Chains A and B, each alone.
Chain A
Amino acid sequence: MAGARNPQPQPVPGRTDQPVIRVEGLQAFYGAKQVLHDIELTVKPGEIMVIMGGSGSGKSTLLRHLVGLTRPAAGRVELLGLDIARARSLEMLRLRRKIGVAFQGGALFSSMSVLDNIMLPLREHTRLDRKTMEIMARLKLEVVDLAGADSLMPSELSGGMLKRAAVARAIVMDPQLLFFDEPSAGLDPVVSSALDDLILKLRDALRMTMVVVTHELESAFKIADRITILDQGRVLLIDDVAAVRKSGNARIQNLLNRRSEQTEVDAQSYLQRLTGAAERSPDTRNDEAGAT
């Protein structure tokens, strides 16, 4: 059933089978804390790659690196053959015209109508006249089943409509690469399923390569060609849906079966946590001892 809904990515005419996304040895830090450890990842043309993981697994950080919002502390992120850490600003600008991002909360500009939001990339990157831009924007609204919502303000849209409008803005330049950040988050199951169908429709109709970050299992299994599972900033597995389901890895099974990690309680560290002793560094403790 999943296979029927989810055909393997078709080769795109004029494109090679070279990966459109290549991540090598990517590391990221928040302050002193390392949040991504040597991530290796490739995404093939026309593929839907789902990045899954629990809260704090590093999937949103990885997405920020993939779309060029954060520079890697170490390693390499290559999009459409361009190393984004070393790219010049003009090269990045050209690249950005070929990628679209649908953010978790939509990230529509609250001071603009839906139509103006969708037209913004066209206004900034093309010399089309306003009438043509309006037609193109309305066309994308039709694609995401939001016809007639063009004059509404973002504050007048429901959660599902916001996400659809964000998708319309992301695809208005007909990008080769489309990124989704938690497309199902905060939506009811029906709207969530409709959004999954939209993602599949876009892939099949527009032949886009997609990267979807989600923690929704049902959604991931429905849309994914391959799944990358992250855990504590490390890649546990990259494989197709069937292989992920069958994986013998305990952490993956915990994630799939929504079980929390059970760790043995160490009495000494438990006591330290309660008294706050673990929070203090040895140096601080020595200073305090000296002061008293």
Chain B
Amino acid sequence: MLRVAEGIGRGVVRGVEEIGFAGALFLESLLWAVAGPARRQPVRLSAVFAQMMQIGIEALPIATVLAAAIGMMLAIQSLYSLGLFGAESFATVGIALSVVREFAPLIIGILIAGRSGSALAARFSTMTINQEVDALRVIGVSPVRFLVAPALIAMMVVVPCLTMWANLVALTAAGFLVSSALGISLGAYAADAVAVLSVNDLAHGLGKSVLFAALVALVSTVNGALADGGAEGVGRRTTRAVVHSIAAIIMVDMIFAFVVTSG
């Protein structure tokens, strides 16, 4: 019984430590981004663009496929469930709001956690274990400025862009099914969708995607930085980073939705 309590206590302490570490990394990354140029130690734009290519452009095909599938799935379910009440004509309202406020940011967040979060965690873990991070420190290069800040900035810029792209793809894919089922033109569907959506809805979804991006970058970095134990350690930390990122995204999504809609 005592050992169970000890285990829980250690887990809580470790969790709080990691959250604190993530917060410190976030603040230090911001500091380097703002004050780095004045200290002649800027966050390298080339590194940021390289990360943006990896996280954003290379994820475009899979993001497109997933967004189209989500849009179609939502259209099918909306037409079916609203059809039970003879309210198919309201499908566009449900689809537009669901995609923009919830599904596009969520699916892109989960995609980025699985694709880029795992890559970041594996890269940082390997660098930690191979003493590359130590090498940076003894050279006098801040690992936060050199490794963390570019990944964090790239994620926070690219993920909202991918989310915006997912909005367009999902709504278009849903539009094909809805317009065909309701016997309206694609233009009429688009006009309905635009009429339903407000800037607030768009900001809600994109704001969440920025938060998810920061979460994935920080959770992956923290796991990478704490890696030990060789190849097995890299695998363990990578898995942990993906699981924790997705869990954090879903929890924060719920809290964000509650706070914003209750206000």
Interface residues of A (CB under 8 A from B): 67-69, 92-93, 96-97, 99-101, 103-105, 107-110, 120-121, 124-125, 169, 284, 287, 291
Contacts and interface: CB of A to CB of B under 8 A. Distances in A.
A287 B127 CA distance: 43
A189 B135 CA distance: 26
Interface residues of B, number: 15
Nearest to B40: A127
Given A67-B138, A69-B138, A284-B2, 18 more contacts: A93-B140, A96-B139, A97-B140, A101-B138, A105-B130, A107-B132, A107-B134, A108-B135, A109-B127, A109-B132, A109-B135, A110-B126, A110-B132, A121-B139, A121-B140, A121-B141, A124-B139, A125-B140
A107 to B, nearest CB: 4
Contacts of A99: 138
B81 interface: no
Which 3 pairs between the two chains have the least Cβ-Cβ distance?
A96-B140, A107-B135, A107-B131
Contact of A104 (B126, B127, B131): B131
A233 B86 CA distance: 80
A269 B132 CA distance: 42
16 contacts: A96-B139, A96-B140, A101-B135, A101-B138, A103-B131, A104-B131, A107-B130, A107-B135, A108-B132, A110-B126, A120-B139, A121-B139, A124-B41, A169-B139, A287-B2, A291-B1
A124 to B, nearest CB: 5
Nearest to A173: B139
B115 interface: no
B137 interface: yes
A105 B131 contact: yes
Contacts of A97: 140
A34 to B, nearest CB: 21
A68 B127 CA distance: 19
Which of B1, B130, B138 is most buried by chain A, counting CB atoms within 10 A of its CB? B138
A110 B135 CA distance: 12
Nearest to A90: B39
Contact of B134 (A69, A120, A169): A69
B56 to A, nearest CB: 19
Which of B1, B126, B127, B141 is most buried by chain A, counting CB atoms within 10 A of its CB? B141
Interface string B116-153: 00000000001100111011011111000000000000
Nearest to B147: A109
Given A107-B131, A110-B130, A96 B41 contact: no
Contacts of A284: 2
A208 B68 CA distance: 63
Nearest to B50: A111
